[in-house]
Structure 1
Amino acid sequence: MRNAGLGGWPARRAQMSPQRTAFVLAGRSVSYADVHRRATRLASRMREEGIGAGDRVAYLGPNHVAFAETMFATHLLGAVFVPLNFRLTAPEIGYMLRHSGASLLVYDPGCAQTVRALPGPYTLVALGSPAPGEHDFETWASRGEPDPIDVPVALDDLALILYTSGTTGSPKGAMLSHANLVWNCFNMMVGVDVTSTEVTLISAPLFHVAALNQTLLPTFLKGGTSVIMPSWDAEVCYDLIEKHRVTWMFGVTTMFADFARSPRWAEADLSSLRTLMAGGAAIPVALIRTYQERGLVFCQGYGLTETAPGATFLEAGESVRKAGSAGVPVFFSSVRVARPDLTTAPVGEPGEVLIQGPNVTPGYWRDPQASAAALTEDGWFRSGDIAIMDEEGHLSIVDRIKDMYISGGENVYPAEVEEALFAHPAVAEAAVVGMADQRWGEVGRAFVVLRPGAGVAPGELTGFLRSRLAKYKIPVRFEIVDALPKTGSGKIRKSELRDRPLPG
């Protein structure tokens, strides 16, 4: 086989472990042999529609086995896969389709209204109930004998275009090569000891690089089983862990906080879980301790879409001693903390995180200016995140550069304030942003979601923080809200909070 990229994986896995279960969704199991046959049929049909090497194929819908099948079929042809956030509006999706130049779109019926509002023209493939002129995904995947496909694909060829969350301005299309994805899988298998008997719960959205490349792809590479959740639901998560004896799962802070708040937390059988892995944003130490006190191994990592995504990882053996740390650089990558002039910052000094390695993006699709701004001349990716490196080489994420604000000449990192707030027993979630102030320049404004049934008295949160933070770090406003605005990957939309008008 001349396909050195991901498109060759189903055939190789089918040869090594044909009857082993690759995916489980809603009680249906799909073997590795099934994935190979279905992906090859899909690729044959795509080729009949004119898809070839370098063309872009988009996918719009919740987590589904069809996501993986479409991705592998796309890569069999040497084409580029473009997963889209199904929670976005038609104008947002339309921008990404136009910008990527996608010519074929596979979509879930739940997204039909959005798809109908797109200007097109696109070749449309529906996972169910296709409209006139559209193709039926299941017919493509399950019928007919596929023609042999042996398209040459090199590891350095482009595999994915992943659009960033777009919390400010138009989203950028981060390009990831097959090599970027493969090296990240290697890094993951070193850090987590992924096994062929792994049962991985895919509970975060697959259009987000962490769910795709930190869990599903390493599990597929090793021949384990991925149990797919269409969307996050804490109670369904408990059911799936117990039913399938899940060993490994990834989540973001909001998911793990939600899971631990369930009435089932204390008594549920979680004995099969070998590794819990978190990322996407700094995880409050109080939340990590909640899991460790339950006897669970909770590992934090750090990365970005542009680093495919893993940059650092805290392995199980260090997860208690270094709780709250994002770990050390992954095996095949280098990470350093830099001052504004890009010289390396000394131990303990906050600076921007820079990453270099075979997992780092070659740049942004059709955006040479953004690519040049993100990559230094000697190939280090500028993350825009602030961190501190300790004397043992462990990274602690402080905040995003753009989220930091200056109050009375002092830098305030909202993540530090949010972590302190999270320690209050009534607080379920918190987000802090800077707002203009005539005297101090900027001061903090905190948005707080309370735990069910909890309440806080006026001034209680201010008093709680006084013994934990310097006075200039304590927000001057606390607003109790029902929920925080989030991106599809679970990150808080702080730009929306900054723009929110003050009450009355």
Structure 2
Amino acid sequence: MHNHGLGSWMATRRLKTPEKIALVFDDGNELTYSGLAALADRVAAALSRRGIRTGDRVAYLGENSPEFLAALFGAVQIGAVFVPVNTRLASPEIQHVVTDSNARVLIHDPEFGARLDGLSLGIEYLLDASSIDVPDVSVVEGSPEASSASNFPDSPAALDRPAAILYTSGTTGKPKGAVLTHGNLTWAALNAIIDYDIVSTDVALMISPLFHVASLGMGALPIIIKGGTLVLEKRFDPSRALALIQNYGVSMLSGVPTTYQLLCDHPDWATTDVSSMRKLTCGGSAVPSRVLNAYEERGLSFSQGYGMTETAPGATLLAPDRTREKQGSVGVPHFFTDVRIAGEDGREVPTGTVGEIEVSGPNVFAGYYGRPEETAEAFTADGWFRSGDLGYLDDDGVLYISDRLKDMIISGGENIYPAEIENLINDLDGVTGVAVIGIPDDRWGEVPWAVLTVRDGITIDTDQVRAHLDGRLARYKVPAKTVIVDELPRTASGKIRKADLRTRFAPTA
């Protein structure tokens, strides 16, 4: 075996645990590790017959499915670079990802074929993913006559070679492709295995899309290394998720605070057996107290964390036994990762001082594809990744997020960090989502507004929010106005698109 990266994983799993259930999908269908390895072999053979070689990009457009993972492992087996495409993108956005990555092949779920009509993708091959499980790969659209799927080449791949390009969520401007090496993804998976104590008997419910780095890097890949089982869901539905947790004895679940709130607010929550769940991981923002309470009443607790696409994705972790002690924080660095805080001059700042969060470790990405200048700007002179996030470390080395540099509000010369305000508003009864944004103001330059979603039948106005925050925040931090919306715009990873909200509400200020 010459492939020392992800390309060797399927062959190793097939050797070690061929009959172990790797995947559960589509209402009870199962696939063993041997079966998943065979699918990956067929993808590798189909790509190889088309002349795809080491370093070529293979894009994939589709929801969570065996075909997604087969495309990933089939591509990396021959040294190609996997480019997952966010299925929630509009057609022009899909075109950007495919063309920006210079993909030679696009494999897609049949249901997304229509979205590709009329696009100028610049690819050589457009393949239907539904044909992956057919032994005769020649039935794939545009395929030449193919030989046996088991005869794919074993291409050399070192850990420092690119394995995937994942496009950042693009809260401003067009998304950039973060190049993740085989080493980045392997070390990120090891971080997860160590700090979440993942074992081979774990059953992970994948309700978040695999094209998102958190679901892939901290969920699917660690489970596959350990030989656990993935339950694949194409979309998140609280009722279905609760049923799957009970039926399959799900032990691991990842999501954002909204995910967990929708589960515990569902009528089936009280009657569902959730005793198997031992690893609940949450990112995106702090878990509100009322959600923590609902889970603790059932004997469940969270691991909360912080990361991004560029760190593949985990940077820090707050262990369940510190959830209350360090509530509002995102914990300490993962086992093979380091974090520091830098001031505007680039030097480390004292404990308790807000500055830019910088990350170092073998899980930190190689750079942005085709963007050398932006890659250079993303790293310090001594090689630390500049996250663009603001935060501080307490006396115990625990990280607290203050905000994104670009989301910081400057009102009357004072810096306002929206996350601080959002964490407090989240504890107001009836609030299901909150985003604090800066709105232009003739007197102060900017003033904070709170944009909320609330439970049905609940009414919350500006006066209620101000009363809730009175005495807890400086007066200049209290939102000047509160507006209620039906839904907060979010990226595929669950992050709120504040730029969209600023565009929507700024003209009315």
TM-score, scaled to structure 1: 0.95
- In the aligned structure 1, how far is the partner of 2:410 from the partner of 2:77? 51
The percentage of aligned residue pairs carrying the same residue is: 44
How many pairs were matched up?
500
- Out of 52-61 and 115-124, give the one that drifted further: 115-124
- In the aligned structure 1, how far is the partner of 2:484 from the partner of 2:147? 54
- In the aligned structure 2, how far is the partner of 1:332 from the partner of 1:355? 11
| Amino acid aligned to 1:391 | D
- Are 2:403 and 1:402 aligned? no
Aligned counterpart, 2:21? 21
Q: CA deviation at 1:279?
A: 1.0
* Alpha-carbon displacement from aligned partner over 1:317-340 (angstroms, at most 9, x marks no partner): 323422322111111111111111
Q: Is the 8 A contact 2:205 2:230 kept in 1?
A: yes
Compared CA separation, residues 351 and 292, structure 1 to 2 (3 A): farther
* Alpha-carbon displacement from aligned partner over 1:267-299 (angstroms, at most 9, x marks no partner): 321100001001133433443343233321201
Aligned counterpart, 2:135? none
Q: Determine which of 248, 265, 282 is the counterpart of 1:278.
A: 282
* Alpha-carbon displacement from aligned partner over 1:45-101 (angstroms, at most 9, x marks no partner): 111111111000001111111111100000000000000101111111111111101
SS at match of 2:205: strand
Q: Is the 8 A contact 2:438 2:446 kept in 1?
A: yes
Q: Which consecutive unaligned segments of at least 5 residues does structure 1 have? A: none
Aligned counterpart, 2:214? 210
Aligned counterpart, 1:101? 102
Q: CA deviation at 1:442?
A: 0.9
Q: Which consecutive unaligned segments of at least 5 residues does structure 2 have? A: 133-137
Structure 1 runs of 4+ with >6 Å offset = none
Compared CA separation, residues 7 and 148, structure 1 to 2 (3 A): same
- Out of 75-84 and 86-95, give the one that drifted further: 86-95
- In the aligned structure 2, how far is the partner of 1:249 from the partner of 1:201? 6
- In the aligned structure 2, how far is the partner of 1:19 from the partner of 1:279? 33
- Are 2:455 and 1:451 aligned? yes
SS at match of 1:175: strand
Aligned counterpart, 1:173? 177
Q: CA deviation at 1:114?
A: 1.4
5 Å matches for 1:369-384?
Answer: 369-384=373-388
Aligned counterpart, 1:52? 53
- In the aligned structure 1, how far is the partner of 2:103 from the partner of 2:266? 41
Aligned counterpart, 1:126? 128
- In the aligned structure 1, how far is the partner of 2:131 from the partner of 2:313? 35
Q: Determine which of 319, 327, 331 is the counterpart of 2:323.
A: 319
Compared CA separation, residues 176 and 186, structure 1 to 2 (3 A): same
SS at match of 1:159: strand
Aligned counterpart, 1:30? 31
- In the aligned structure 2, how far is the partner of 1:319 from the partner of 1:114? 43
Compared CA separation, residues 143 and 127, structure 1 to 2 (3 A): farther
- In the aligned structure 2, how far is the partner of 1:391 from the partner of 1:332? 21
Compared CA separation, residues 294 and 143, structure 1 to 2 (3 A): farther
| Amino acid aligned to 1:8 | S
- Are 2:91 and 1:90 aligned? yes
Aligned counterpart, 1:236? 240
Q: CA deviation at 1:396?
A: 1.1
- In the aligned structure 2, how far is the partner of 1:121 from the partner of 1:458? 51
- Out of 250-259 and 428-437, give the one that drifted further: 250-259
- In the aligned structure 1, how far is the partner of 2:508 from the partner of 2:332? 43
Q: Is the 8 A contact 1:285 1:324 kept in 2?
A: no
Q: Determine which of 293, 315, 339 is the counterpart of 1:335.
A: 339
Compared CA separation, residues 283 and 316, structure 1 to 2 (3 A): closer
Compared CA separation, residues 442 and 351, structure 1 to 2 (3 A): same
- Are 2:255 and 1:251 aligned? yes
- Are 2:111 and 1:110 aligned? yes
Compared CA separation, residues 260 and 117, structure 1 to 2 (3 A): farther
Q: Determine which of 224, 230, 240 is the counterpart of 1:220.
A: 224
TM-score, scaled to structure 2: 0.94
Q: CA deviation at 1:493?
A: 0.6
Q: Is the 8 A contact 1:60 1:84 kept in 2?
A: yes
- In the aligned structure 2, how far is the partner of 1:275 from the partner of 1:362? 30
Compared CA separation, residues 229 and 55, structure 1 to 2 (3 A): same
SS at match of 2:96: helix
| Amino acid aligned to 1:127 | A
Q: CA deviation at 1:39?
A: 0.6
SS at match of 1:429: strand
Q: CA deviation at 1:456?
A: 2.6
